[in-house]
Amino acid sequence: MASGLHFVVLVCAMGVLWIMPNVSSTSGGCKFCPSGWSLLLGRCYLFDKTERDWTDAELSCLSRGGNLASFRSPDEYITLRQFVLKATGKHTTSWVGGHDAVKEGVWLWSDGSKHVFTAWGQGEPNDLGGEDCMEINRGGSKLIPMQALQKAQKELAETQRILDDDRKKLADLEGAIADLQAKYQDSLAKKKELDSKYQLCEARLDRADKVRKSDEI
């Protein structure tokens, strides 16, 4: 994390929602990138070595048709770090699109994507010194601790297990509802049949009663 007064380089990312005229894309992301941009994991990235504060960095990305980079998984995070390393020859501190400027402690990505990344280092993201903007590589070459990655993977697996269980329960419930609906329709048909038989019996009893009264006369 970093305060708004800290000047660092920036990384712009362009996904399927931010397309420049010479960018071809599919529903899965970018297919081709403009000159000077790099295609990584279906998105176009650009490293700008001009030092800016976070707001100016985001505006610079917007002027290029993108946003400051976001990441949703450890793979994207590591890929982004490797991209910066290749561009600068070191793990240069760089702005990314995370911020909690709207509501303190609620982190958002400037590109509007959902903030689902969980493999943070211990105590991150924090609000040290009133920080509202996010950077990567503040610790240089230090990667996210393996413990954090393993924790994130475990949480993801547990979330997937819960989701699979809920889907199975939903399927079972839908099956039970379908069975009840079928039984209800069957009950309606049987009720209709019984009503018809009852009316027939009533008619027969009425005729029998009339015959009995006629014989008595």
Q: In the predicted model, what is the mean pLDDT of the chain?
A: 77
Pairwise CA distance, residues 96 & 114, whole Å: 14
pLDDT(25) > 60: no
One domain, residues 205 and 187 = yes
One domain, residues 135 and 158 = no
- Residue range 57-80: average pLDDT? 87
One domain, residues 175 and 137 = no
One domain, residues 33 and 139 = yes
Closest CA to 22 of 35, 12, 13: 35
Structure tokens at 158: 């547990």
| Pairwise pLDDT comparison (162 vs 28), residue with the higher score | 162
Q: What is the amino acid identity at position 43?
A: R
One domain, residues 106 and 200 = no
Most confident of 5-14, 29-38, 55-64, 136-145: 55-64
Q: What is the amino acid identity at position 216?
A: E
- Residue range 39-47: average pLDDT? 86
Question: Is-cis flag, bond preceding 125, omega within 30?
Answer: yes
Using one digit for the tens of pLDDT, what is the confidence trace for 129-172? 556 788 887 765 555 544 566 677 778 888 889 999 999 999 99
Structure tokens at 100: 């909690």
Choice among 12-16, 29-33, 110-114 with the minimum mean pLDDT: 12-16
Q: Is residue 139 part of a domain?
A: yes
Domain end: 102, 120, 143, which one?
A: 143
Pairwise CA distance, residues 203 & 58, whole Å: 86
Please give the pLDDT value at position 166. 92
Q: Phi/psi of residue 71, each to 5°?
A: -145, 145
- Residue range 7-33: average pLDDT? 48
Please give the pLDDT value at position 212. 76
Structure tokens at 34: 């403009």
- Residue range 35-60: average pLDDT? 86
Using one digit for the tens of pLDDT, what is the confidence trace for 185-205? 999 989 898 888 888 888 888
Q: pLDDT band for 217, please (50, 70, 90 cuts).
A: low
- Residue range 50-73: average pLDDT? 87
Q: Domain with 120 in it: what CATH number?
A: 3.10.100.10
* C-alpha to C-alpha distances, 141 to 69, 148, 168, nearest whole angstrom: 19, 16, 44
Q: What is the pTM of this model?
A: 0.55
Please give the pLDDT value at position 177. 92
3-state class (DSSP) for residue 134 = strand
Q: Is residue 21 part of a domain?
A: no
Pairwise CA distance, residues 113 & 150, whole Å: 24
Q: Judge contact between 126 and 135, C-beta under 8 A.
A: no
Give, for 44, the enclosing helix (H) or strand (E): strand 43-52
One domain, residues 168 and 98 = no
Range of the domain at 50: 5-12+29-143
Q: Is residue 19 part of a domain?
A: no
Q: Judge contact between 37 and 44, C-beta under 8 A.
A: yes
One domain, residues 112 and 164 = no
- Residue range 97-124: average pLDDT? 79
Please give the pLDDT value at position 170. 93
Pairwise CA distance, residues 48 & 139, whole Å: 20
- Residue range 16-21: average pLDDT? 34
Q: Is residue 109 part of a domain?
A: yes
